[in-house]
């Protein structure tokens, strides 16, 4: 249910690739189930398919390439400028394959959410699904968390457990995890939009 007394939460979604998580967020908003508005989609990859998804739905989609900047801080400073010019309230990292510096984190305190394809703190960084396969875990999953100064270390909002099958490949496991991502990511955004999340140190409290 949407909360009519709040104006739609202004989201920016940052992507690097296919954008299936972005698509689910778009669909929920269009169905009237999420009281939010995607005010811009940013991709650091010019050929990210997610850009096309945004454009199809009339959402401003921008290519914001990191190669044009000398370092991560200056790239982030430019990102902050774009996001602030759109009055963004919540930043969604939906498959954005860049580590943020404190320039971004400080500009949006406790207002950047990331989806990670593992049960953090296990398997942070890149190739988490392959890391899980190599380790031989029976279960892995996905995590939605706020972004802090570390890599995949911020306070955890929601997690979902996904079984690892004996004959899984990186692709089959990634597909199963992505299906779970699609559920918990929008749920976490919903909680934020409905002002049901508070953060106490490392812990995220969710009110009913």
Residues 68/61, Cβ–Cβ less than 8 Å: no
Indicate which residue of 5, 64, 116, 127 is catalytic.
116
Residue whose structure tokens are 């990186």: 170
Report which DSSP code applies to 165: P
3-class state of residue 38 by DSSP: strand
Distance CA 111, CA 17 (A): 22
Any contact of residue 20 with ligand GAR (CB under 6 A)?
yes
User: Which CB, 23 or 195, lies closer to ligand GAR?
Assistant: 23
| Span interacting with ligand GAR, options 13-21, 54-62, 70-78, 194-202, rule CB under 6 A | 13-21
Q: Can 116 be counted among the known catalytic residues? A: yes
| Span interacting with ligand GAR, options 15-23, 57-65, 159-167, 190-198, rule CB under 6 A | 15-23
| Binding pattern for the stretch 158-187 against ligand GAR, x by CB under 6 A and - elsewhere | --------------------x--x------
User: Which CB, 36 or 94, lies closer to ligand GAR?
Assistant: 94
Contact residues toward ligand GAR (CB under 6 A) are 15, 17-21, 50, 94-95, 97, 115-117, 178, 181
């Amino acid at each position: 249910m949407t909360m009519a007394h709040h104006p739609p939460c202004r989201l920016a979604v940052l992507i690097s690739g296919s954008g299936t998580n972005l698509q689910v967020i778009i669909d929920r908003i269009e169905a009237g189930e999420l009281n939010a508005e995607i005010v811009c989609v940013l991709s650091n990859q010019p050929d990210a398919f997610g850009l096309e998804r945004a454009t199809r739905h009339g959402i401003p989609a921008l290519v914001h390439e990191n190669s044009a900047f000398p370092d991560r801080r200056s790239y982030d400073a430019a990102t902050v400028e774009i996001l602030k010019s759109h009055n963004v309230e919540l930043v969604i990292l939906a498959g954005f394959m860049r580590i943020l510096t404190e320039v971004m984190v400080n500009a949006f305190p406790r207002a950047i959410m990331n989806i990670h394809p593992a049960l953090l703190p296990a398997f942070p960084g890149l190739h988490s699904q392959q890391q899980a396969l190599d380790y031989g875990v029976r279960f892995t999953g996905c995590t939605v968390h706020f972004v802090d100064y570390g890599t995949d270390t911020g306070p955890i909002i929601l997690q979902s457990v996904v079984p690892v099958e004996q004959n899984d490949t990186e692709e089959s496991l990634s597909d199963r995890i992505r299906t779970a991502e699609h559920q918990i990511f929008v749920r976490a955004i919903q909680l934020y939009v409905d002002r049901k999340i508070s953060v106490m140190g490392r812990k995220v409290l969710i009110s009913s």
